[in-house]
Structure 1
Amino acid sequence: MLKKRSVEKKEEKKPPTEEEMLKILSGADKKDYERICAEYGFTDFRGILKKLKEMKKKEEVEMVRVLKPLEDITAKAGTNVIFDTILELKDPNIRMQWFLGAELLRLQYSHGKYEAKQMGTKHMLCISSVSLSDMGTYTLQVGDKRLSARLSVIDEPLKFLSDFKPKKVTERQTAMFEIRLSKKTDAPLIWKVKGKEVKRDEKFDVSLSEDGLTYTLKIKDVKVSDTGDYTISIGDLTATVPLFIERIPITFTSHLKNTHVQERGKAHLECEMSSKDVHIQWLKDGCDITASRRYIFMHEGRRAEVIIEDCELTDEGEYSVVCTQDNDPHKYVTSANLTVDERFASVKSGLSDAQCPTGSSTELCVVLDDEKVDGVWLRDGVEISELSGVQVVKQGAVHKLVFSGLTEAHEGKYTFKAKGAESEAVLTVADPPEIDSSVLDLLGAEPVTVKAGQTATIKIPFKGKPLPKVTWYKDGVEVIEDERTKVERTADGTSLVLSRCVREDSGAIMLRLKSDCGTAVANLHLNVIDHPRPPQGKVEFLELSGKCITMKWKAPRDNGGNQVTSFVIERRKADKKSWTRVGEVDSSTTVFSDDKVEEGQTYQYRIRAVNAEGISDPLETEEVCSGEPIEPPGTASQPQVSNITKNTMTVSWAPPSYDGGAPVLGYILERRKKGSNMWVQVNKELLTDTKFMVDGLVDDVEYEFRVTSENRAGAGSPSTISNAVLAKDPIRESFVDSLIFFVSLSLWISII
């Protein structure tokens, strides 16, 4: 029997509502919106797109949520104010800008006027020492949000806070006026005395306190002339303070002192007062001598002096100084006695023996202690009356015998005699050794040059009486005669003869002529030219590859006396005896590259220096192979980060242990944010140092670094990535943290 199959009724699927569709599309990709709407049977595709766009815009607006808005502030001029707001930010790195009106505040260029601070969700703008110019509307722009508040500044009227009492100051002290204002002002404060404005100089010192409220005037070393009314003016305010000066009694800081002087000598009597503004009167034995021409009176500053020239016995007596000053009725006196003693002449500076060259000018000189005393000159015991070429001169206490055109006829024993004084000396004629200046100029102008193997003859003429001792030196060492070295001497010259010269004979030559009356020296340079010495040291191979061998050497220690013009490079194969010239380079370089080599072949090189005299002996290298390859360098060490701030870090590393066969040319430094796969190269050009300061970092972001070495073959593998480092200014440990650590440590020790 057939069973009747029941037909199930298919239930129709109801399309989702608009709110349900928004939830479905909010988690889907934009390109799949139309397909998803079709699957769910939702037909109002344009309407749902519009609703979805409005919903996302509303979510973006809610990126900034204001918990406390900015509030208007009223403050007094000169005080500090703070605008603050509390914000809930979904993006902590969102850009914030402060404005005054429509003008952006450039906080970093405000010299501390404006400062933006943040404490958690609280954001503040601090304004120091506000003035009327700071009034206005301040706006904080955070994303699309703008928060505003107004600053009002109250300015109080300017007034004096100081008492203006008369000031009394003792003479020569410093008078000081201090004026305190009720507030700061840009108006200038002007001090005046006797109607004339006071300017800052050595006398007056005008200053302003750090808070800008106290003005000070200092009057240094006050005098009677400084008495008067001092007026202070600032804006519309004016005040006057009188200044009175009290005189200081005169004291003698240095009194007249009793003085002894010899007859016909000079007497000085002097004293020093405590003030220079005094009137001076001089007395001798109680009589006024101020107008007498017998005395020389001097009054300079606080010092008073009387000078008595050519003292006589009648000048003995008591001398007094009487001092007075204006506005002071007192007289101030100091006294002292002058004693004049009779005296005899004595020799202060006697004659000295003299040796002088023929035709020269000289003098014999005696100095006595009394310029009024005369004397006589004797030669070999006979008084000089007339002698050709001799002049007798007397200049005060100095007695001279002056000779011109000295000859052997002037030789002898000379004696000077005076009352109580006598001195003698011997004059002789002698000529020191002398080399003509033209000869010295010629010797110093150019070196004496000879070729190796030739004979060098150096002849120098001279004059001298008696005949001087002749000594030749080479490089500071006395020349000793041998089979190659001869020294010839005559009455008017000397010669140094060097036969079969060698390069080592080059050096500084000096001739020294010495006698009892002088020394003469001639200097010259002997240059023996020869072919150069071989290039120096061991040859350094900079490159050993299958295509090129590059070598480096040092220039010869001795160029043979002539400049090296070039270097000749030769080579031979290891199994060959013959040498082949492979190149020649200018003397300015000591590097040569041989690019005509066979890979895997062993070579030996030799290098010779060339100058105008010939070619040097060779400098031979070791045998080297041209088959060593060059590859990129190894890996540098893991970078280390130090000196961390919110904007900069210093990254350092060590070079790779393997350079790949060629010197490392430099390094490439890269950075990336932690968690990112995108590396950014920090340097535009290769870094030659192993340390580099990275700037332009973003505050509160972690960074990682890596370094790649590079040589002529290319870049090697990047180094191990550095530890992640947070860009943040260092924060000092607070006192509370230190205290917590100390208590924790104490508890731990107690438990143990």
Structure 2
Amino acid sequence: MKVPTRLPLVMLKAPPMSLLTDLLTSLTTDNLPFVEEPLEIVKPLEDQTIDEDQTVKFTCEVSKPNIKSCWYKDGKAVSEKDGYRIETINSVHTLILDNVAEEDGGKYSIKVEDKQSEATLTVKVLPIKFVQPLADITVTEKQEIFLEVKINKPGQTPVWTFENKDVSTSKRIRLTSDGVLHRLVIESADLEDEGSYKVAFGDVESSANVFVDEEPLEIVKPLEDQTIDEDQTVKFTCEVSKPNIKSCWYKDGKAVSEKDGYRIETINSVHTLILDNVAEEDGGNYSIKVEDKQSEATLTVKVLPIKFVQPLADITVTEKQEIFLEVKINKPGQTPVWTFENKDVSTSKRIRLTSDGVLHRLVIESADLEDEGSYKVAFGDVESSANVFVDEEPLEIVKPLEDQTIDEDQTVKFTCEVSKPNIKSRWYKNGKVVSEKDGYRIETINSVHTLILDNVAEEDGGNYSIKVEDKQSEATLTVKAVPVEFVQPLADMTVTEKQEIFLEVKINKPNKKAEWLP
């Protein structure tokens, strides 16, 4: 219930009646302050005892909804940043903590406005016990070492040791924890992995011995004799029973290395010696030694004389076509010498010389008549020749002139396209040569010849022709004379003395002389 506040009234002398009336009017119910009901704790916090790793929930209910609260542990403010979950639903305030640890025990309190409630949390710590301890195992080299323990409490961090030295994760070693299961896994066991392993959780520990039996090295796949053509690639491969064992390669009893032009690879247990572009002198006895094991094989290199599998052949081309000469020989890696009329040929803007394995090519772009003659390609004393014939390209009219009908005063353009670029041409009107001196514009762009005449008059009509070498094309120009018509005739007008008289007409044809009459 809202209680009106008593206002003190001090009067030195009686005020006017109008002033009393205004004062009483201002003291309405809406303007009077009221005392708010105080907040109370309806349900205080309660003491709790809980096992570690469980979830604890403190709840406090107050008499007013949605009031801001602050939580404390041992007098220090806590928040969700400290790992707590804090909820306020209406008038109920809750603090939740998962996976409670021993150090989470203590006094918890909540403060809502000027009210406070507190409770004590007692955490019962359970001792760690091994449900499944470590056990001795025996493995052979390359096998996996798998050690596992099971304890009674999740969320514990083990310390693994080998011969009293800490073990940590590496490329070969994996340490994993999954609830109450803890494992140490070592891939591809070495002899050095044999010994005593221990896992400890604080003062509680378990140990076991790991025994690693040595695996004897054996040659699984020996070297094999090979016969190969020169310029080919030879590969000797030897596989042993152990990976990444150092090996030494020999040719005719002498150690060889990559400095001698060989490629030497060891991938896991496979050892490889590779030699590209084998020559006759590369033949001989090859051997590999891995620890106390050895394997050997013989390389026989067959030297092949150069032969033309596909010799040069005579060809005939037309001007502007491509000249393409190609030979195929039986051996890659050879360097040809090309000649034309017994003169060396080299690469230029028009000429390309290419070699691709056993294929060798000479390519000349846009053949000229001067390219006709005898071509030869030689590999040492072995050679092949052929004749190239270049036929002259006859000039043709690709696009002839076309008849045109056009209104006078327009622009006419005659175009003729021929098959050869930049050939001299002559233009004619009614059989008479015309030029730019006669008012024409004459253009030649590549193979296109153009005659242009602006502001065509009736007398420009007639027969037009072009002659390019021995070829000719003609067409007729018809000029339509258009009668003069008024598009905008004169109109009556009235002006005042001293004003400007402005008369204007618009006709359908430009450049016509007008005659004005009064």
TM-score, normalisation: structure 1? 0.36
Instruction: Return the structure number with greater relative CO, CA threshold 8 A, min gap 6.
Output: 2
TM-score, normalisation: structure 2? 0.49
